């Protein structure tokens, strides 16, 4: 799959006599390759992957972060524009060896930004719906507020204990280290490293945004059992190739069987890479 993504003719307003004003988006092909996401032959708005163990969480079904990553990658492929934000709502599960289709609809395509929706399905069964924005503008103003937590480096941190995680699952393909956990404050910091080119991509940041439940498991003993994501959202500040990503997880609340939290993803040098949030159900 080509790592240079070009907007299709009907996705760019230039085709309606306007200036598109968007440069080609040079996205790492490794994210799509690792996900196994490929275009559906003869359908310019659909992409498909076959669920493999490496794309599954501890439930044995398609991992929510991987599914959001695939939806985000499909948005980029459909428009040739880089991901700004994406959100997914999960309504059903996809099992190993099932083919999951990501059908993209470009709701609007401006000179520099597109609003996009994605329908995620297995055959006629709806699995998830996603939406997002892709594109960018060059402006002289840039601020990134906040500071990364001060924690030991990856070389001084212990691995995150996976417990009941199945062999070959997504979490066993990722490297996760525990840098900090404060049950009273509800804060957790994890160092994370994903395979290959996924690490430096918007898709990788979408996957890492699904580590909010891992923070809850570190501070709540009763949450060892699998969790079911209700939604995921990621807002990309800047995807860049970094050896490790620091996940600053803030636990919000657990009530009526549901949990809510968010995280910020930082480079080792303290640059803010992305913001994410999630709600999920604990199977307890």
Q: What is the pLDDT of residue 161?
A: 87
pLDDT at 29: 65
Q: What pLDDT does residue 284 have?
A: 54
Predicted local confidence at residue 217, as pLDDT? 87
Domain boundaries, the chain: 4-135, 154-282
Which pLDDT score is estimated for 125? 98
Distances (CA, A) of 180 to 129, 143, 152, 159, 276: 34, 26, 8, 12, 19
For the whole prediction, is pTM greater than 0.75?
yes
Q: What is the pLDDT of residue 228?
A: 85
Torsional sign, CA 212, 217, 220, 225: positive
CATH topology of domain 4-135: Thiol Ester Dehydrase; Chain A (3.10.129)
Please tell me the predicted confidence (pLDDT) of residue 39. Answer: 94
Query: Is the domain 154-282 a CATH 1.20.1260.120 member?
Result: no
Give the pLDDT score at 12: 43
Identify which of 106, 96, 103 has the alpha carbon closest to the alpha carbon of residue 9. Answer: 106
204 vs 31: CA distance, rounded Å: 7
Find, among 223, 210, 233, the residue nearest to 258 by Cα: 223
Range 209-245 burial, b when 16+ CB lie within 10 A, else e: bbbbbbbbbbbbeebeebbbbbbbbbbbbebeebebb
**Contact indicator for 248, 262 with CB cutoff of 8 Å:** no
pLDDT in tens, the chain (284 residues): 333 333 443 444 433 333 343 444 545 467 999 999 999 988 889 999 999 999 998 888 999 999 999 999 999 999 999 999 999 999 999 999 999 999 999 999 988 999 999 999 999 999 999 999 999 877 777 888 899 999 999 999 999 988 777 888 998 999 999 999 999 999 999 999 998 889 889 999 999 999 999 999 888 865 556 678 899 999 999 999 999 999 999 999 999 889 999 999 999 999 999 999 999 987 65
Give the pLDDT score at 106: 96
pLDDT at site 167:
83
Structure confidence at residue 283 (pLDDT): 65
């Amino acid at each position: 799959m080509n790592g240079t993504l070009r907007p299709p003719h009907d996705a760019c307003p230039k085709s309606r006599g306007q200036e598109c004003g968007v440069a080609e988006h040079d996205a790492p092909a490794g994210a799509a390759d690792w996900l196994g996401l490929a275009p559906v032959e003869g359908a310019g708005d659909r992409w498909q992957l076959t669920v493999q163990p490496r794309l599954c969480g501890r439930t044995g079904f398609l991992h929510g972060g991987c599914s959001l990553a695939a939806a985000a990658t499909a948005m980029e492929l459909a428009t040739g524009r880089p991901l700004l934000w994406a959100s997914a709502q999960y309504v059903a599960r996809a099992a190993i060896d099932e083919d999951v289709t990501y059908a993209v609809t470009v709701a609007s395509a401006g000179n520099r930004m597109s609003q996009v929706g994605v329908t995620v399905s297995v055959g006629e069964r709806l699995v998830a719906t996603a939406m997002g924005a892709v594109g960018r503008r060059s402006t002289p103003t840039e601020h990134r507020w906040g500071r990364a937590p001060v924690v030991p480096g990856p070389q001084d941190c212990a691995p995150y204990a996976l417990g009941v995680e199945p062999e070959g699952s997504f979490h066993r393909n990722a490297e996760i280290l525990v840098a900090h956990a404060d049950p009273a404050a509800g804060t957790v910091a994890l160092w994370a490293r994903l395979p290959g080119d996924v690490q430096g991509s918007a898709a990788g940041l979408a996957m890492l945004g699904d580590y909010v439940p891992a923070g809850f498991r570190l501070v709540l003993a009763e949450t060892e059992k699998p969790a079911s994501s209700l939604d995921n959202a990621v807002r990309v500040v800047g995807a860049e190739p970094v050896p490790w990503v620091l996940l600053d997880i803030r636990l919000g609340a657990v009530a009526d069987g549901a949990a809510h939290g968010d995280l910020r993803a930082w480079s080792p040098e303290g640059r803010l890479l992305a913001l994410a949030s999630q709600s999920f159900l604990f199977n307890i």
